[in-house]
Amino acid sequence: MTKNKKLEKKDLVYGAVNGLIFGALIPIALKNMGFPITFSIYLTIVLSFTILATVGIYIGYLLSKVIGFFFQLAKFGAVGAANFAVDFGILNLLIFSTGLAAGWYFTFFKSISFVVAVINSFFWNKLWTFKKKEQKDTRKEFFQFILVSVIGLLVNAGVASLIVNVIGPMGNISDKTWANIATAVASLIVLTWNFLGYKFIVFKKD
């Protein structure tokens, strides 16, 4: 069981920043799928998720008094949500700029967006979620992170591509919407793998 740690002001600030990232990027995906995102709606989404993420960190801390790892899980959830938005945001920017949302182009775009999200994830998880006092074996730690992330990349791109290119859109769902549904399903699966891999392999406490 993860030892309960003291809540610091920076935890709330970092939570808010990750909520801000999520709120700022998700509307890009929604806009690309045809949702009417006005400036006022955009600001509402940004402010709402910034506040929700901050509250989520505080609730995670309170729950950790009962079950120790909940505080760490709350941080990972905030970072994961931000990474999800980075993945979605970049993917939709690429789809919007090219007009391509299927085939090998989608797989290529999905890989690019996921790699950027992984880089973002490394810094947040190392410096905040799974922070360790000892700083030894940094190269080994980074290699392990990349290894876990590459496996996650393969699973992520594979599952998303399977849903998009093999199963295909169901009903009257558009290609763009289906591409985002595929991304959501793949991200949820990889979220579990990443948490276990980062916690017990990459940032394992000695």
Higher-pLDDT residue of 79, 190: 79
* Buried/exposed code over 147-158 (b: 16+ C-beta within 10 A; e: otherwise): ebbeebbeebbe
* CA proximity to 129, closest of 84, 80, 88: 80
Our measurement of the distance from residue 97's CA atom to the centroid of its chain's CA atoms, rounded to an integer in Å, reads 22
Residue 41: the pLDDT is 93
**Predicted confidence band of residue 53 (pLDDT cuts 50, 70, 90):** very high
Percent of the chain with pLDDT over 90: 25
Residue 132: the pLDDT is 63
Residue 47: the pLDDT is 96
Average pLDDT, rounded, for the chain: 86
* CA proximity to 110, closest of 160, 146, 145, 149: 160
The C-alpha R_g of the chain, in whole angstroms, comes to 18
Q: Is the pLDDT of residue 167 over 70?
A: yes
165: left (phi over 0), alpha (psi -120 to 50) or beta: alpha
Listed ranges 5-19, 164-178, 179-193; the one with the highest mean pLDDT: 5-19
Q: Is the pLDDT of residue 135 over 80?
A: no
In contact, 110 and 91? CB cutoff 8 Å: yes
Residue 1: the pLDDT is 45
